[in-house]
Amino acid sequence: MLLTADTIATGSELLRPGWIEVDQDTVAAVGRGVPSRPADRDLGAVTVVPGFVDTHLHGGAGANFSAAVASETATAVAYHRRFGTTAMVASLVTAGPDELLRQVYGLADDVRAGLVDGIHLEGPWLSASRCGAHQPSLMRDPNPAEIDRVLEAGAGTIRMVTIAPERDGGLAAIGQFVDAGVVVAVGHTEATYEQTRAAIAAGATVGTHLFNAMRPIDRREPGPAIALLEDPSVTVELITDGVHIAPAIYRHVAMSAGRDRVSLITDAMAATGMPDGRYRLGPIAVDVVAGVARVGGSDTIAGSTATMDRVFRFAVTHAGLPPEAALLQAVRQSSINPARALGLPSDGLTPGAYADLVVLDGDLAVRGVLRRGQWIYGE
């Protein structure tokens, strides 16, 4: 299948006009200008970008990944794919030991079935003082035996775990997960700058939704955000949904971290794509008003109702860069960087990569989605 478009953003350059040849589920070739034969489909005045990769989301379309039931997983996945997310990792919130094992066992089956690309454990080894939309009474210090049981239940499907490194046993837990091939993130944490540096030295390589649910920056105690930003081995997540961080914060982080270290995420919950009302995030009741999710009866933000196209548009619009540079930066942040951080396959739109792409109109709204060489929206 040969596709042509006015603009193709491969991840490293803009092709205007450009073409992509797809062979089964992979990109066979990509080029600038007019291809050597007529296109099977001319997409026209659109921008084609690599499929979005969301490494931190909890559900959508009324469905929760924490249900760990294939039908709910499939519902959430189908909704997010419609908006360009061609790869995603299912995030779990803090749960008790038995419930956590049940969820991991269930989602491991969903990973093996190809519904999601891995599991992210956002808890239970977090700071109660930075709990966000997690149940503080279920949080606990990491225990090597429990970690072994969780890893066994996941059987290689756990991609990432978020840990508050200041908890007793936190640094040892980081090493235990890293030794098992799991990416470790620092988040929901009251850690100091030095404690965060120790976590990075122990093997942590991701910062969970930077600035949210972590000790803030102080003039004499820089805290975790600064430690994560200044280390070149760390990828930092940002929820650019227009609620969690201000545009100036996004610009500052993008400039500070550079083009390869920012990962855009949605942190989407079940309310994504649904009307305002009351929903659940794990055991926590969440009220959604005007599209903003908050822990029931409080002002605490509880995940988001965003899809990846929305966080992508925010990044392009608020980059403070010329349009072409802003587009290329957002492409890396929404696809290449998150995939690389978690060891997922995404090299952008290059020969040999999966044929995962999103067709965007002039307003950067999704008009088509190709996943593994098959149109799943906008055929």
* Closest of 357, 377, 366 to residue 4, by C-alpha: 357
Residue where the block lists tokens 């038995």:
98
The answer to whether residues 336 and 354 touch, using CB atoms and an 8 Å cutoff, is no
User: Which position among 241, 267, 309, 347 bears the catalytic label?
Assistant: 267
The answer to whether residues 350 and 30 touch, using CB atoms and an 8 Å cutoff, is yes
Residues 348 and 357: their CA atoms lie apart, in Å, by 9
**Cross-strand pairs, 2:** 21
How would you class 301 by CB atoms within 10 Å of its CB: exposed for 0-12, middle for 13-18, buried for 19 or more?
buried
Count the Cβ atoms, other than its own, within 10 Å of residue 249.
16
Residues 255 and 313: their CA atoms lie apart, in Å, by 18
Peptide bond into 124 cis (omega under 30): yes
Residues 147 and 215: their CA atoms lie apart, in Å, by 26
**Cross-strand pairs, 262:** 236
* Closest of 269, 214, 210 to residue 240, by C-alpha: 210
Count the Cβ atoms, other than its own, within 10 Å of residue 216.
10
- C-alpha atoms less than 13 angstroms from C-alpha of 154 in its C-beta half-sphere: 24
Residues 19 and 29: their CA atoms lie apart, in Å, by 8
Residues 304 and 53: their CA atoms lie apart, in Å, by 16
Structure-block tokens of residue 260? 């390869």
Active site (annotated) includes residue 267:
yes
Active-site residues, by number, are: 267
